[in-house]
Amino acid sequence: MKTLIKTAVAGIGVAAATMLLASPASAASFSWNVGDGTVSYNDGTDTICAQAYNSEGARWVEVTVTPVNGGGPSFTFRDNNNYYGHSGSTCRSLATAYEDTYYRATVRTYWGERGTTESRGSKLFYS
């Protein structure tokens, strides 16, 4: 009888841990450091933002957002830092995308001291 109870308790513990560690598809919020700034997505507001760091001269962060599956907007936008007269972040809405559309955000950045544009890769997420 004790073995049966121990087995049941262990099974319930494993099931509870699995449920706690599993993340639902719709919980896609993230913040991503891309070297010359950050890119973030807020799943609650369906908003993707870019912010170039406001230090050491000219910088910008450019984001291209494309749906991988489903319908929704596709666009490219850029955030320029305070060197260009813009110190805040630049955001775009994904509110018109179907729920749980899979997106790819591809990022390029620029820093004036380096003098080159850098490809920072892609990140996949659900809107």
Residue type, 44: G
Are 28 and 125 within 8 A, CB to CB? yes
Q: What is the pTM of this model?
A: 0.76
What pLDDT does 23 receive?
Answer: 38
Burial of 120 (0-12, 13-18, 19+ CB in 10 A): buried
Domains of the chain by residue range: 27-126
Give the pLDDT of the chain (127 residues) as one tens digit per residue.
444 444 444 444 434 443 333 334 445 799 999 999 999 999 999 999 999 999 889 999 999 999 998 778 999 999 999 988 888 899 999 999 888 899 999 999 999 999 999 999 999 999 8
For domain 27-126, which architecture applies?
Sandwich (2.60)
Handedness of CA 80, 82, 85, 86 (dihedral sign): positive
